[in-house]
Amino acid sequence: MSKPQTQMSLGMNILGFGAHAAAWREGDAPVDAYLDVDYYRNIARISERGCLDAIFLADGPALGGDVATQPGARLEPTILLTAVAAATERIGVIATASSTYNEPFNLARRIASLDYISAGRAAWNVVTNAADAAAQNFGLAGAPLHVDRYGRAEEFLDVTLKLWDSWEDDALIGDRQSGRFADPAKVHTLDFKGRHFSVKGPLNLPRSPQGRPVLVQAGSSEGGKALGSRYADAIFTTQTTLPDGQAFYREMKGRARAWGRNPEHLKIMPGLSTVIGSTEAEAHARFDRLNAWHGEHGLLQQVAGRIGMAPEELDPDAPLPWERLGAVADFERGSQGFLEAQINLARRENLSIRQLSRRILVGHRLLVGTPEQVANTLEQWFLAGAGDGFNIMPDMFPSGVEVFVEQVVPLLQQRGVFRREYQGRTLRDHLGLPVAENQFTAARAQAASGY
């Protein structure tokens, strides 16, 4: 196993009003805040005060959920995070975008542009989107099969990495006297012809400030694991129990090694939803208040949705209907990663559906407790080799990020497992990732050394 790093990374995942579906009803923020750039800027600045690695925005190109009861609309992440980057100095920005419903040239260029504008703080979180609603906005009747989405994603990443690497570092000359702007021999076409894409290239941007933007992969299905271990710099994963988290961590580091990679250069970041109170009782009171808004039906619906069933089909006081759940790898009605994480938790702790509905919110592990308990679990998972860092999903904004930064972060700092100040300026610096060498520059250097 790779040598564990001594300090963890932390991302702040801004899920609209928060990870609890009733967050908008509690009134922490105005009901139209999710369309207001200042709402996001404020969360980002608070997170930056806590020296967090990055702001993370999930996404899907469709109106999600039931608009009658939920704010399913979202500002587009690359645009919103450009505005957030302009209002911050150090914190990274991770934009989710779909490999199924974009073209590599356009997306590679947008993320690279964000890397320029943020001076090296940009990342793309690749997702394939399992939702039919997204497919129906792009000429399809329903989402492509899991295997097809991941086949396209693999080729998409291959093309994107080549586009990001198409200019050598010293391609720009800029000699006014001779009129030589760039060395065309150092700006490379791809001439890529694959099953899904044909892209001539080069990208119409030189290598960006981080060499290339950080690549994050979210999705813990077999397809996601194969993709992430090969291409990603960081994996955002859902792990609901420590043994499962440790097993996933070991597996992914091993897979990275099998691809010939340094496993330290693949960061594993499980998600953690938080409901924080100054005492356990206060935390649970806060959670109960949110649950009361959402109602029993709403809570059960979240569990049912993740197994592709209606809440009416389930007995809340019984366990998950094991006999009716097929193999995870055959699941096509939603995220395989979320399905598996939910099954793991229910099985290991022998939970009824009602109990399960209070142990998980958006599909990630949930902790309801004090700042100390949150710090404890983050430290425990980190030291036990279940995560290089964590993507934090507070129940509600902005109070959830405020309490995390003001009360959890200082505990982690005191224990020496989180930075007291930023050591670098780029997201790669924060994550402890090297700047990838340009393939052509490397080949030249090798040739010059005579092998």
Task: Name the minimum Å distance from CB 303 to a copy of itself.
Answer: 19
Q: In the window 193-232, what residues touch a copy of itself (CB under 8 A)?
A: 197-206
Q: In the window 260-289, what residues touch a copy of itself (CB under 8 A)?
A: none
Residue partners of 281: CB distance under 8 A and separation at least 6: none
Q: Using CB under 8 A as the criterion, what x/- string covers residues 366-385 for binding a copy of itself?
A: --------------------
Cis amide prior to 398 (ω within 30 degrees): yes
In the list 101, 150, 231, 382, the residue contacting a copy of itself (rule: CB under 8 A) is: 101
- 102 binds a copy of itself, rule: CB under 8 A: yes
- Applying CB under 8 A, what is the total number of residues that bind a copy of itself? 71
Q: In the window 73-92, what residues touch a copy of itself (CB under 8 A)?
A: 73-76, 78-80, 82-83, 85-87
* Closer Cβ to a copy of itself, 32 or 288, answer by number: 32
Q: Using CB under 8 A as the criterion, what x/- string covers residues 166-185 for binding a copy of itself?
A: ------x-x-x--xxxxxx-
User: Based on C-alpha coordinates, what's the Rg of the chain?
Assistant: 22
Q: In the window 6-25, what residues touch a copy of itself (CB under 8 A)?
A: 22, 24-25
Task: Name the minimum Å distance from CB 322 to a copy of itself.
Answer: 33
Do residues 369 and 280 lie in contact, with contact meaning Cβ atoms separated by under 8 Å?
yes
Dihedral sign computed on CA atoms, order 273, 277, 280, 283: negative
Q: Are strands 192-193 and 198-199 parallel, antiparallel or unpaired?
A: antiparallel
In the list 49, 116, 144, 265, the residue contacting a copy of itself (rule: CB under 8 A) is: 116
Q: How far is CA 98 from the centre of its chain?
A: 12
Task: Name the minimum Å distance from CB 105 to a copy of itself.
Answer: 4
What is the three-class DSSP state of 5? coil
Task: Name the minimum Å distance from CB 426 to a copy of itself.
Answer: 16
CA-to-CA dists, residue 24 to 72, 239, 306, angstroms: 11, 26, 22
Q: Which of 173, 157, 176 is nearest to 165 (CA)?
A: 157
In the list 31, 145, 147, 383, the residue contacting a copy of itself (rule: CB under 8 A) is: 31
Dihedral sign computed on CA atoms, order 85, 46, 95, 27: negative
Q: Which of 296, 270, 108, 124 is nearest to 202 (CA)?
A: 108
User: CB count, 10 Å around CB of 396?
Assistant: 25
Task: Name the minimum Å distance from CB 308 to a copy of itself.
Answer: 20
In the list 133, 226, 242, 435, the residue contacting a copy of itself (rule: CB under 8 A) is: 133
For 263-286, the three-class secondary structure string (H helix, E strand, C coil) is HHHCEEEEEEEEEECCCHHHHHHH
Q: Are strands 9-13 and 389-394 parallel, antiparallel or unpaired?
A: parallel
Q: Which stretch binds a copy of itself (CB under 8 A): 1-9, 191-199, 282-290, 361-369?
A: 191-199
Task: Name the minimum Å distance from CB 363 to a copy of itself.
Answer: 20
* Closer Cβ to a copy of itself, 37 or 384, answer by number: 37
* Closer Cβ to a copy of itself, 183 or 251, answer by number: 183
H or E element: which one contains 214?
strand 214-218
Task: Name the minimum Å distance from CB 289 to a copy of itself.
Answer: 12
What is the three-class DSSP state of 209? coil
* Closer Cβ to a copy of itself, 10 or 134, answer by number: 134
* Closer Cβ to a copy of itself, 185 or 448, answer by number: 185
Q: Are strands 198-199 and 214-218 parallel, antiparallel or unpaired?
A: unpaired
In the list 1, 67, 281, 318, the residue contacting a copy of itself (rule: CB under 8 A) is: 67
* Closer Cβ to a copy of itself, 79 or 445, answer by number: 79
Q: In the window 284-313, what residues touch a copy of itself (CB under 8 A)?
A: 293
In the list 143, 187, 216, 307, the residue contacting a copy of itself (rule: CB under 8 A) is: 187
Structure tokens at 288: 């109960």
Task: Name the minimum Å distance from CB 149 to a copy of itself.
Answer: 16
Q: In the window 385-414, what residues touch a copy of itself (CB under 8 A)?
A: none
Q: Which of 268, 221, 276, 218 is nearest to 20 (CA)?
A: 276
- How many angstroms separate the CA atoms of 57 and 54, rounded? 10
**Number of residues written out for the chain:** 451
- 138 binds a copy of itself, rule: CB under 8 A: yes
Task: Name the minimum Å distance from CB 245 to a copy of itself.
Answer: 32
* Closer Cβ to a copy of itself, 341 or 362, answer by number: 362
Structure tokens at 228: 């992430």
Q: Round to the nearest angstrom and report the end-to-end CA distance of the chain.
A: 31
- 151 binds a copy of itself, rule: CB under 8 A: no
- How many angstroms separate the CA atoms of 114 and 133, rounded? 28
Structure tokens at 40: 């996001």
Task: Name the minimum Å distance from CB 39 to a copy of itself.
Answer: 11
